[in-house]
Amino acid sequence: MTKSTKRKYFGTDGIRGRVGEAPITADFFLKLGWAAGTVLTRHATGKKRVLIGKDTRVSGYMFESALEAGLIAAGVDVDMLGPMPTPAIAYLTRTFRAAAGIVISASHNPVEDNGIKFFAADGYKLPDEVELEIEALLDQTLVTNGSNHLGKARRISDAAGRYVEFCKGSLPSGFSLTGMKIVLDCAHGATYDVAPKVFKELGASVITLGNQPNGFNINDQCGSTHTAALATAVLDEQADLGIAFDGDGDRVLFIDDQGEMVDGDELLFIIAQHRHRLQGGCNGVAGTLMSNLGLELALAEMQIPFTRTKVGDRYVVEAMKENGWHLGGEGSGHVLCSDLNTTGDGIVSALQVLRAVVDSSKPLRELKSGMKKFPQLMINVRLPGKIDISDDQEINQAVADAEQKLAGRGRVLLRPSGTEPLIRVMVEGEDSVLVESSARAIAEIVERRVAPVKS
């Protein structure tokens, strides 16, 4: 009999949901810690050790304790890192030679949500077969080891300092941001402590927003999902630019000196263009189905290969590995430089952009002007549950009508979110008026078709 490949709990980016609603509950995380610890250390040749980091959500304390108990029950030693960016956990998992790293976070989601991500010993996300092994064990009874075979827990006090040095070390020796004025928005999240240190120690004058987490204000009208306050601060402070991270620090967006956003596609272009001009160059870029057509065309002008994957950083990483490329990402600001870290790293990616700014002696707004973005509009339609709309004739006809109007000079994409009950309706094309009218027309039909039937 073939083993089922359908995952019950894991999505495209770990397990995520509303706190207090299954599976984001304390009892589930206890058992998940035991199951994950058992599976992830099964083939460990050295010490059975797992790292745990988290963002700043109030629920993180509860889930941290539950995971710790489950892992210890399975005989696994636990290193507690406290609030740390997701990419820091990936890096520290490798440097501590741990069997795995665990992040408690719901990334850019509101405080009401939480979730969990796993990194294997090599710092990459878990392969599907390992996630399936963990899920299979969740159906079994939790067995607590006897006292002589329990794990131990300890706090790692220098984790933040190690990561700060790693980030600075991603730049050439002697690189300096002296003379540059930067506004940082840390989203009251996991970068609130380490990010200001990195940029200050590199010589920048730093104004910091979103660095007062209280357990409840993560991503609340701040960070990479809400950049209005950052744009205002950049203009008020007459700063060179602003940088916005999300709650767990794996995404980054910029604001230029005119208060305009520079999104993930534009950041990818700036890094690729800079690397193209350096010795060794840029051998390719992986984007997703949502990547702006302007990025593809700008890369083509430099003869840099480009490929699209399904949405989700795990698919981008797979394409990068397959092609031997070091650069990829998404418009949301999830930028991957795999020659520097194994996962999206907001601080490291931001430093790569700043390296391009410093080396070129050009402002950010000028660097991004080399890529002409196509107008693109995405509308999120909330679903009452898991609904498959792929065979809905009325929705498919609306998409076909929009594609006919775009006449081969644009795209229409309907995609279910991997982390929330949403359908994302995206339309892209040369004519912004047509793009907006088409996206709204399709979204209205989708919303009507998925609306729950009233009795």
pLDDT tens column, 147-185: 999 999 999 999 999 999 999 999 999 999 999 999 999
Residue 391: band (very low, low, confident or very high) from pLDDT cuts 50, 70, 90: confident
Spell out the residues 6+ positions from residue 433 whose beta carbon is closer than 8 angstroms to its own: none
- Give yes or no for residue 64 having a pLDDT over 80: yes
Integer angstrom CA distances of residue 378 from 204, 346, 384, 427: 35, 23, 19, 7
Number of H helices, E strands in the chain: 14, 18
Instruction: For 15-69, give the DSSP string.
Output: EEEETTSTTSSHHHHHHHHHHHHHHHTTT-SS--EEEEEE-S-THHHHHHHHHHH
pLDDT tens column, 317-329: 999 999 999 999 9
Which domains are assigned to the chain? Answer: 15-157 (3.40.120.10), 163-169+177-368 (3.40.120.10), 376-450 (3.30.310.50)
pLDDT greater at residue 420 or residue 256: 256
What secondary structure letter does DSSP report for 149? G
Which of these is catalytic: 59, 65, 105, 107?
Answer: 107
- Give yes or no for residue 123 having a pLDDT over 60: yes
Q: Can you give the pLDDT at residue 387?
A: 78
**Average pLDDT of the chain to the nearest whole number:** 94
Q: Can you give the pLDDT at residue 313?
A: 87
Percentage helix, strand, coil for the chain under 3-state DSSP, each rounded to 5: 40, 20, 40
When mean pLDDT is compared across 58-72, 79-93, 269-283, 385-399, the lowest value belongs to: 385-399
Q: Is the dihedral of CA 269, 270, 276, 280 positive or negative?
A: negative
Q: Can you give the pLDDT at residue 452?
A: 63
pTM over 0.85: yes
**Catalytic residue status for 157:** no
Residue 1: band (very low, low, confident or very high) from pLDDT cuts 50, 70, 90: very low
When mean pLDDT is compared across 221-235, 257-271, 392-406, the lowest value belongs to: 392-406
pLDDT tens column, 333-371: 999 999 999 999 999 999 999 999 999 999 999 999 999
Q: Can you give the pLDDT at residue 390?
A: 84
pLDDT tens column, 199-248: 999 999 999 999 999 999 999 999 999 999 999 999 999 999 999 999 99
pLDDT greater at residue 45 or residue 430: 430
In angstroms, rounded to a whole number, what is the distance separating the alpha carbons of residues 181 and 195? 15
Spell out the residues 6+ positions from residue 385 whose beta carbon is closer than 8 angstroms to its own: 421
- Give yes or no for residue 436 having a pLDDT over 90: yes
Q: Please report, rounded to a whole number, the percentage of residues in the chain having pLDDT higher than 70.
A: 97
In angstroms, rounded to a whole number, what is the distance separating the alpha carbons of residues 248 and 195? 12
